Amino acid sequence: MRIKLVNFYPTNATTNAAEANANNTAINGSTQKLDDKNARNQGIDMVNLGDNPHLRYTGRQDNGAYASAGTAPSAHNGWIYNAFTIGGTPGGQHYSQTGSVNAQFEYPINHDNTFTINTAHSKGTKVQINGTNGIALAHHQRIQVNWNVNCWDIYHNGNKSRILPEFYMSQLVDTAKTGIGVGEYYYLIYPKFNTVSSGLNDTDFKSADDAGFYQSGINGSIDYFDPSDLTNGNSDVQYSYDNRRFDHCSVVPMHLITATETASGGGRFAAYSTYDFSAQEFATAGPSMQICGQHSFNVNVASGGGKTLYGVQMFISGPYRVNSTGQFLESQITDPAGTPSRNGVDVSVVLERAAIEIEIINPQSARS
């Protein structure tokens, strides 16, 4: 079968919409593949083949939270994501009960433009996909999520001075060779997916494998890291780097080593991000920091697992600690003088603006 295409160059100086549409109809009405029946040696100004991948859905959302330079974390509640329940924690902050055996210890990034927790879709980072209908997923579709979250402050919201190392972490870091080390702990930011309901309840957002359209063991794929897979709540169960996917996570670092002329100047360590950095010369690496990330993967289950994607939302974990073989969720606060002594991490993070973008790309039509 031969088809006739209108060449735009060099005969014609401009692309004509009617002719482009006619070309597209001619190609799609033939074999829909590039073979000896549908070959040509010139380009055309359109999607060349009907079975090329193309965009099924794209959406972007910004929480609209913009703070003035120098705004203290205590000015708002909804943008504070606490490590644990801090004594006297005001309502409207994110927090988790210390030591709760049922705590998954993660929060949806859901503060809105008023810096208030808002669980509605189209607020925070909760994106509704294609209205209430969602999108029925298909085998070999590619899902890509891009995100950008601005970390406003690494925040100790207790009663002690935040420039003193012993109140950010165990006192052991100053006087002994064991305990918590600078750079050993961090938060993680990652996307989760809702294939349960257009109601978009926060508890229905899952990792891709738990959401039912991605399966480990196919072409070497492995399970995603997800706090809900902890076997005993936040009980220091370690995730091995060898059997979990972490490529969907962005790291929020807490501290780094710094230098100063005297120890009393706040040296030895510094927060990566501080809202009043200009007044904390030796206690911070600088102002707010952008935490960016991208994750792209294929729906690898036949018929998309029969799932419909209703929404995507960004989440932030509790504080994780790392060693040479993996990481574990911290379950203790910092109280080395307590009974019993607890050498954990209770530094919180303050998040300002956050944006998320989702793309769903259809596979080639010849695949199933």
Q: Burial letters for 298-331: b for 16+ Cβ neighbours within 10 Å, e otherwise?
A: bbbbeebbebbbbbbbbbbbbbbbbeeebbbbbb
**Residues 212-265: tens digit of each pLDDT:** 999 987 766 778 887 766 544 444 566 666 777 888 999 998 877 666 555 555
* Separation between Cα atoms, residue 151 and residue 314, nearest integer Å: 14
pLDDT score of 294: 96
Q: Which of 12, 44, 15 is nearest to 27 (CA)?
A: 44
Strand locations in the chain (E): 55-62, 80-81, 106-108, 127-128, 135-136, 142-155, 185-194, 205-206, 238-240, 250-253, 255-256, 270-271, 289-298, 308-309, 311-317, 320-322, 326-329, 334-335, 342-343, 348-361
Residue 204 has pLDDT above 90, yes or no: yes
Choice among 61-65, 201-205, 252-256, 326-330 with the minimum mean pLDDT: 326-330
Bigger pLDDT: 353 vs 99? 353
Q: What is the mean pLDDT of residues 175-199?
A: 77
Q: Write out the two tokens for 191.
A: 């996307």
* 340: preceding bond cis by omega (within 30 degrees): yes
The number of CA neighbours under 13 Å toward the Cβ of 79 is 28
**Residues 69-92: tens digit of each pLDDT:** 999 998 999 999 987 766 666 788
pLDDT score of 47: 45
Residue 58 has pLDDT above 90, yes or no: yes
Bigger pLDDT: 264 vs 290? 290
Predicted structure pTM score: 0.79
DSSP state, residue 69 = T
DSSP state, residue 167 = G
Q: Which of 146, 122, 138 is nearest to 311 (CA)?
A: 122
Across-strand partners of 94? 81
Torsion from C-alpha of 26, 29, 34, 40, nearest 10 degrees? -20
Across-strand partners of 361? 55, 142
% of the chain exceeding 90 in pLDDT: 39
pLDDT score of 10: 55
DSSP string for residues in 267-315: -S-EES--TTGGG-TTTBS-S-EEEEEEEEEE--SGGGGG-EE-EEEEE
Q: What is the mean pLDDT of residues 328-354?
A: 76
* Greatest CA separation for the chain: 86
* Separation between Cα atoms, residue 159 and residue 170, nearest integer Å: 16
Residue 200 has pLDDT above 90, yes or no: yes
pLDDT score of 191: 96
Q: What is the mean pLDDT of residues 358-367?
A: 74
**Residues 135-160: tens digit of each pLDDT:** 999 999 999 999 999 999 988 765 44
For 151, residues 6+ apart whose C-beta sits below 8 A from its C-beta are 252, 272, 273, 288, 289, 290, 291, 349, 350, 351, 352
* Separation between Cα atoms, residue 74 and residue 157, nearest integer Å: 8
* Separation between Cα atoms, residue 177 and residue 56, nearest integer Å: 55
Residue 67 has pLDDT above 70, yes or no: yes
Q: Which of 94, 129, 89 is nearest to 108 (CA)?
A: 94
Choice among 17-21, 122-126, 258-262 with the minimum mean pLDDT: 258-262
* 310 in Cβ contact with 143 (< 8 Å): no
